[in-house]
Chain A
Amino acid sequence: MAHQYADKGIEFLFVYTREAHPGEHYPAHRSFEQKLAQARAFQTLLNVERPILVDDFEGTGHRQYGMLPNMTYLVGLGGRVLFRADWTDPPTIVTALEYVLACRARRREGLRLAPFYAEIVGQRWNDQAKFQEGLERAGPKAVEEFARATQQTWPELWGSPSVLVHRVN
C-alpha cells in the first residue's frame, strides 16, 4: 500500500510503541535500548519496509495520540488530522486515502468544496487466527493474559450502553 500511494504524495510511517501483549519472548521494555532491539525484531519478523519511528521510553508520542495499541492517523500536508481510527484496517485506510485524493481532484477541477465534520463506524476484519498467532509469538504468558482479560473486562465494557454502537455493528 505504501508503494501504491508513494507517487500520490503520501508517506507511510510506523510508530513503534510499548509492547501491547508482553510475553516471555518479547517482554515489556525495561530500557530504551531494549525497545530499539525489539523494534528491530519487529521490522525483521514482519518484513516492515516503511520507516519505523521508535517513540521514547515513556511513550510521549503514543500518549498524545490516544495510547491505543494499533491506531491509524492520516495527517495532511501541513499537519492537520484528516482521518483517525482506533484500529488499523487496510481496506478502511484505502477508502480514506481515496476519499481525500478524490476531494482534491474535484477541487482542482474547479468544484467549490467546503470542509465539514464527519464520523463513521468502521468495520474491520477481525482476523482471530492472525491475532492468536501474534500472541503465541510473544509467548504463553501473552496468550494467558489476553484470555483472562477478555473474560474479565470485556463483558463489562461491551455491555455498557455508551459502547452499544460496537455491539449493534
Chain B
Amino acid sequence: MNDRPDAEPYNYEEFVGSEDFLAFRTALPVGSPAPDFAATLLATGEIVCLSDFWRERDVLIEFGSLT
C-alpha cells in the first residue's frame, strides 16, 4: 500500500534515508491516546492487541527490525 502512486513501497528494497523525523514530532504528542493495533505474538502466533497489554500495566514499546 503506497500513500501516493510515486511513493516508495512500505517494504522498500533500497534504503534511501527518506524517514521523516520532522513529521514524527507532531504526529502523536505525549498525552494523546495511544493508537491500538493488532499484531502477531511471535512466541505463539496468536493475534493480540496492544491494548491487551496497557489495560493491565504500563507498556514500554520499542519499534525496530533486524537491520
Contact = CB atoms under 8 A, between A and B. Distances in A.
B17 A72 contact: no
Contacts of B58: 9-11, 74-77, 82, 100
Nearest to A62: B63
A102 B33 CA distance: 22
Contacts of A84: 28, 30
A103 interface: no
B15 A146 contact: yes
B11 A18 contact: yes
Main secondary structure of the interface of A (DSSP, over half): mixed
Interface string B31-60: 111111111111100001011011111111
A58 B10 contact: yes
A77 B15 CA distance: 36
Interface residues of B, number: 52
Main secondary structure of the interface of B (DSSP, over half): loop
Given A77-B56, A142-B67, A149 B24 contact: no
Given A13-B53, A75-B50, A150-B17, A22 B32 contact: no
Interface of B: 1, 10-25, 27-43, 48, 50-51, 53-67
Top 8 closest pairs, chain A to chain B, by CB: A149-B17, A61-B37, A53-B39, A138-B67, A42-B66, A64-B35, A21-B67, A153-B17
22 contacts: A10-B58, A11-B58, A13-B61, A15-B64, A17-B64, A20-B15, A20-B67, A28-B11, A52-B42, A54-B40, A67-B20, A68-B21, A74-B61, A75-B61, A77-B57, A80-B31, A81-B31, A81-B32, A84-B28, A118-B30, A135-B67, A163-B22
